[in-house]
Structure 1
Amino acid sequence: MSPDVGLPETYADLMSIHRMGHAFYHPEHAHNVRPGTCGYINNSGQWQPIVDLTDEAALAAGSFKPLTQLLIKATPDEFAWEDVTSEGVHSNKPSISVGADGSTVGVPAEASVEFSLEKSVSAGAVLLCNSTVHRKGYRHESPFLEWGKANANAIIKNCKDAKRYGFWVVLTTWTCSSVWTNVWKNSQKSVSIGITARSAGIGELSPRIEWSNSQSGGGWVHPTPTMKNGKVDQRVIFFSGVKFKVYKLPFGAVTREVRGTETIIVDDPDDVTKPENERMRYEFEISVEGAAEDKEEMEEEDEEEDEG
C-alpha cells in the first residue's frame, strides 16, 4: 500500500480553513483542471475529468445538456505567497533584509526552516510557492450549479465512478509553476526545508525566501516543472467550485434525513427497466466550496464597472 494513502484527503481537510476550495496534496496540471470543467477526485486525491462545459461537441457526444446561462470570466490576478499552513503550524522562518551593497541579509548560505505543531493539534499541512500564484476563473457559480443539477443523471451514465465519488464543476483555479507541499499526522514531528534568500525582482518591494532541496527533511511533494507550449506548466494548488457529494440511498428510500442543504435525487440509469421500488437511487448534496472571497471581489468589480 502506498505511504500516501489518506494523506491527500488529510491535506485537503487541513487546508480548508483558507476557504479557497479543494487543496491538492499532489498539485495537478493546470491544463487538466480548468475553470469550466466537470470531474471528480478519486481515492488517491487525483482529479479525473469528465467533460468540459465550454466544449459544445464534447457535451453533445455525451448527451449532456448545454449551459443555459452566460459565462462571464473574472479578471485574472497574480499574487506572491509566503508559506501557507494549516491551523496550529508554526515556523522558525528568519526575517531577511537588504544590505548596503544590495545583497540580502539574514539568511546563511546553508539554512533551513522548520515547521512544527502546537500541542493542541495532531496534524499539520504546509504549502510553499517559489513562483507567482495565478488566479483565473469565472465570476458566478450559478451557471455551473444549474448545469450540474440538470446533468447529474447524464454524468453518472457517462462516468460510473461518479456514483462513488460524486463530482465537481470548477469555478476558479489557483496555480503556481514551482510548488512544495507536506502533511504529517504526528504532533511530535516537525518537517524542515532548505531555503535561500533571493533579491527583490521587478515589481517587488522586498527580498524573499526561496525554498530548495538542500537541507530539506523528508515528506515534501515537489512536482518537477515541465514545459508546455514553450512555457513552464502551471500546477493547480487550490480550486473552488460547485461540489456534488454523493450518497447511495437504500432501496425504497426517498431521501436521507438531512436538513439545511440543497439536494437532488437521481435514479441509477442502469436500473430504468426495473420496478421503481427496486431501482438504486443517489442523492447529491450540493455546496459551493471556496468561492466566498472570489464572489466578494467579483461583486466589487461589477459595482466598479456599473459606476464607470
Structure 2
Amino acid sequence: MGGDLSERYRTAMRPHRAFGYALYEPVPYARLFPGVLGYLDEKRQWHPLLDLTKRSIFNIVRGEAVEPETYTSFLIPVGKTPDSRFWGPRVSSKHSETEVKLEAEADALALGLQATVGGAIEYQSRVDFGAILMCDDAVVAEGFDVRDPFLAWIKKNSAALLAEFPDLQKHGIYIPTWTYSAAETHINAWEGVEHKIVLGFQVGATGVGNVGPGTSWSRGRASNGWSHYLDGKRVVFFSGVKVKYGMFGPREEVEKKWRGQPSDKFLVHRLSDEDDGELESSLAEMEVLGDDYDVAMKRNGY
C-alpha cells in the first residue's frame, strides 16, 4: 500500500506508541530484527542494509561481510531473553465500542461469528480513519535494553554509511533495538465513519466488563477489509533509533547553524564531489522511536 495509508495507520495507532513504530504492513522478522540497520522509503517499505549482530558486520545487500576498514567495529550488546504475551485487539485512537447483544446463536451467525462466542463488540471510528490490529498467537517481545551503543556507532560511521548507501541521505537511518512480532497477524484499516468492525469474544463469563487477558477473540466474516499475514513471524511494532541528515553544504555555514547544540544533533563531514575537493558538512539529528517502550513492557507484563 502507499505511504499515505501507512503513515495514517501509524498516526492512528498512537494510543500504542509506547511499542514504537506501528507497521501497516508487518515485515518478516528475518528482514527486520533488533540490530539490523536499514531505512523506510517514502512508501514506508523496509529496506535492510547491514546486520550489526554478526561477529563481522554483514552487508545484506551484497550478501557478504564488510571489509574491516569500511566501518569501525561494533560490539553487540547482550540481548534480553525473548518474552511473549497474548494481546487483545489493538484499536486506533478516537473510536467507539458498543456491546452487541446476542440473544441466540442465530444472532452470532448473522454477524459472521461462530455460534459459540460469548459476546461481541462493534468498533467504529469517530474520525475519517480507523484501524484494528489482531494477533491470534503470542506476541514476542525481544531486543536490547540499551540504545546508546547504536547511536554512538552511527555517529562515528555516518560518512561511510552515506557514501555506501546514498538513499540514507534522503530517508535517514533506522536501527530497531526492540521488536514485537507474531506469526498470525490480521490488520483492518478503513476510511470513513460508517465502517464498522464486529469482533466476537469468549470468556468465562459474558459481557464487556469481563473482557480481560484471558479472552479469546474472533473476527466476524461479515467484516471485510482484513489483511492476513500467516506466513511466519512478522514485526508489527518496533522501537529503536533513527538518524536523519540535512543537505550537505559548506562546512562553515553548517557549523554556524549548529553551534554545538542541542546534544541530539551532530555534524557529518565529507569531501565535496566538486573538483575543488573542499570539506563539506551535514547536520544530523538523532531520534528515539518508542521512547517510553519500557512503560509498554511493564503494562503488558514483559
| TM tier relative to shorter chain | 0.7 to 0.9
Give CA-to-partner distance per residue, 1:101-127, whole Å, 9 cap, x none.
Answer: xxxx99813426543222xx4433321
Give CA-to-partner distance per residue, 1:149-197, whole Å, 9 cap, x none.
Answer: 11211211221110110011110110011112233453x342425x455
How far does residue 73 in structure 1 lie from its aligned partner after superposition?
1.1
CA contact (8 A) 2:88 2:213 kept: no
TM-score, normalising length: structure 1: 0.74
CA contact (8 A) 1:109 1:196 kept: no
Matched, 1:15 2:8: no
Distance (Å, rounded) in 2 between the aligned partners of 1:95 and 1:275: 74
Partner of 1:304: none
TM-score, normalising length: structure 2: 0.76
Which runs of no fewer than 5 residues in structure 2 stay unpaired? 60-64, 113-120, 205-211
Partner of 1:88: 94
Matched, 1:42 2:47: no
Instruction: Indicate how the Cα distance of structure 1 residues 237 and 94 shifts in structure 2: closer, same or farther if over 3 A, else same.
Output: farther
Q: Which one is further off, 48-57 or 177-186?
A: 177-186
Matched, 1:264 2:266: yes
Aligned with 1:66 (options 73, 76, 95): 73
Q: Which amino acid aligns with 2:7?
A: E
Q: Secondary structure at the match of 1:6?
A: helix
Q: Which one is further off, 286-295 or 28-37?
A: 286-295
The aligned runs of 1:5-154 (5 Å cut-off) are 5-18=3-16, 19-55=18-54, 56-58=56-58, 61=66, 63-68=70-75, 71-92=77-98, 108-111=108-111, 114-118=122-126, 121-154=127-160
Matched, 1:210 2:210: no
Matched, 1:161 2:167: yes
Identity, % of aligned pairs? 25
Give CA-to-partner distance per residue, 1:206-251, whole Å, 9 cap, x none.
Answer: 4411236x21223x3322x22xxxxxx1110001101112332555
Distance (Å, rounded) in 2 between the aligned partners of 1:106 and 1:257: 67
Which runs of no fewer than 5 residues in structure 1 stay unpaired? 97-104, 227-232, 299-308
Distance (Å, rounded) in 2 between the aligned partners of 1:296 and 1:81: 12
How far does residue 137 in structure 1 lie from its aligned partner after superposition?
0.6
Number of paired residues?
Answer: 271
Over the aligned positions, Cα root-mean-square deviation in angstroms equals 3.4
Partner of 1:288: 288
Q: Which amino acid aligns with 1:67?
A: F
Distance (Å, rounded) in 2 between the aligned partners of 1:123 and 1:54: 38
How far does residue 286 in structure 1 lie from its aligned partner after superposition?
0.5
Partner of 1:176: 182
